[in-house]
Amino acid sequence: MLHATVPVLFESSENLSILHDPVNEDWLALVQAIDGPSFEMLARRYYLALTHFRQQKGRPPLPDQTTIEATGKQQAFLAAPLHGLPDDPGSVFRLLRRNPVFAHWCGFLGPKVLKEPEELTSRRLPARTVCEEFSEVMTRYGLWHLARVEKVIHNLASGVVELEDTVSFDTTHVEAYSHCGNVVPADREVDDGKKPKQRKVPRLKKNCTCGKENWETCIHSWVPTDEGAAVVVKGPTRVYWAHKGSVAAFGRSEIPFDVRICHYAAEHDGNTLVPHLKLLNRDLALVMAVLAYVLADDAYQGNKEKVRQFGLKARLIRPVHPRKVRATLARQFDGIDHFTALGIPVCEADHRFELRGRDISGERYIWVAPDDEAGHPVCQGCPHAGTCLSKGKRRNIRVHRNDLPQLDWDHPQLSARERKRYQQRTGVERAIKRLKVDLKGEILSHRDARRVQAHFDRKLLTLHLLLAIAHPT
């Protein structure tokens, strides 16, 4: 009994003393940071959009004199992921009622507080419909996106995030909050006794008041229930019905600063780079002004020339695309057994040569034997040295550039400088993890690409608010 532990039956969230718990430091600092002129302006934009939204829906107009107060809902939606919850209206509604201390710090005084004269938003807890209306207005009018872009620009201008000339790009997917339909194309041939191969497509609906029973005969057009969702193939056994987004992060700091959701998730990864760069050129011109290196994987190999339109210094760095090398090439060099698909020579002692440089006048790559663990050339103790090493202590060969077309002659990917620079590309994968795992970005409760875009705008806004809090003033 001396070592027995008492089970925890419940955790109180009503006592203000819980604010002294280090576990609550992050969300408390975030709630306090959502203040100031920028968020006051966001609140004014929200009410202008709300006025237009209600006019379109035929709802009662806002009072002529309105006390502008939307900061509390902004705080609740942005801080919800720090409580381990999604940021959809239903989760935020439940969080405000289950955590009175959190609701109090968001500016809500309780469920029985009366509305003050000429006040649009009462200080009592918002209803679920109010949370849903707030989320819809902020999403439909692009206010989350606008707030996120302004915060990223502020962090870059103030030095919270260092502006870099190297940007990594990659795509990621989030499973859609919807289901797909299966259809058999009309022109597909079906063999006798075999099940026809079906194609996954979005389910359709009609946004009309004719009634579901009359959809087949009414004149209104069909629309997808989840626009932008499609089949995303990540491997032989990893096939998802999902949305796809392109993520941009700085190379050294690995901080994500932009996410763009594709209008069609089945789009090839390589086709997302140029549209993403065009949007960056519009929204984050200060990043594009210093952009020199674009890091991406092999799926982006067709964008080398397209990237150059965004600046004289802009250059795409990608890995070597494997390509079979003709067997007769190795016979031209004594002691070389074969060339790998990446263009690397391998000697008869199974040592992979290293790219040392280029012979510019002769247009040839210079390959040399590597060093051993002691830092000496492997050729010194090699039993094949007598047949391939005629002079010196290290075997070297020169291969014409036309024999290795998979290498970029101007900037060979296998050179030490290019390999060191390309090592920063994997930072974007860790940046994706921060958005999807740490901030609950992989949990979708919204449909269509426009709402998914707002979903990731909130994640980026939360992340950059936390960066500004952690940055020493």
SS (H, E, C) the chain: CCCCCCCCCCCCCCCHHHHHCHHHHHHHHHHHHCCCHHHHHHHHHHHHHHHHHHHHHCCCCCCCCCECCCHHHHHHHHHHHHHCCCCCHHHHHHHHHHCHHHHHHCCCCECCCCCCCCECCCCECCCHHHHHHHHHHHHHCCHHHHHHHHHHHHHHHHCCCCCCCEEEEEEEEEECCCCEEEECCCCCCCCCCCCCCCEEEECEECCCCCCHHHCCCCCCCCEECCCCCEEEEEECCEEEEEEEEEEEEECCCCCEEEEEECCCCCCCHHHHHHHHHHHHHHHCHHHHHHCCEEECCHHHHHHHHHHHHHCCCCEEECCCCCCCCCCHHHHCCCCEEEECCCCCEEECCCCECEEEEEECCCCEEEEECCECCCCCEHHHHCCCHHHHCCCCCCCEEEEEHHHCCCCCCCCCCCCHHHHHHHHHHHHHHHHHHHHHHHCCCCCCCCCCHHHHHHHHHHHHHHHHHHHHHHCCC
Length of the chain counted residue by residue: 473
Closest to 263 in 3D by CA, of 319, 305, 224: 224
User: Residue 434: is its pLDDT beyond 80?
Assistant: yes
Instruction: Name the average pLDDT for the chain.
Output: 82
C-alpha to C-alpha distances, 50 to 40, 43, 57, 421, nearest whole angstrom? 15, 10, 10, 48
**Range name among 98-112, 331-345, 428-442 with the lowest pLDDT average:** 98-112
Per-residue pLDDT averaged across 171-182, rounded?
84
First to last CA, the chain: 51
Beta carbons within 8 Å of 401's beta carbon, 6+ residues apart: 363, 364, 365, 407, 409
In this predicted structure, what is the pLDDT of residue 145?
92
User: Residue 131: is its pLDDT beyond 70?
Assistant: yes
Q: With bands split at pLDDT 50, 70 and 90, how would you rate the model's confidence at 265?
A: confident
CA atoms within 13 A on the CB side of 217: 4
Per-residue pLDDT averaged across 346-365, rounded?
89
pLDDT above 70: percentage of residues in the chain: 86
In this predicted structure, what is the pLDDT of residue 72?
80
**Range name among 11-15, 84-88, 291-295 with the lowest pLDDT average:** 11-15
Alpha carbons 250 and 163: distance in angstroms, whole number: 8
Task: Copy the structure tokens of residue 80.
Answer: 């919800």
Per-residue pLDDT averaged across 436-463, rounded?
90
In this predicted structure, what is the pLDDT of residue 168?
93
**Range name among 32-46, 351-365, 451-465 with the lowest pLDDT average:** 32-46
Please name every residue paired with 223 in a beta bridge, in sequence order, or none if there are none: 205
User: Residue 331: is its pLDDT beyond 70?
Assistant: yes
Per-residue pLDDT averaged across 24-28, rounded?
77
Alpha carbons 169 and 426: distance in angstroms, whole number: 9
Per-residue pLDDT averaged across 241-245, rounded?
89
User: Residue 137: is its pLDDT beyond 50?
Assistant: yes
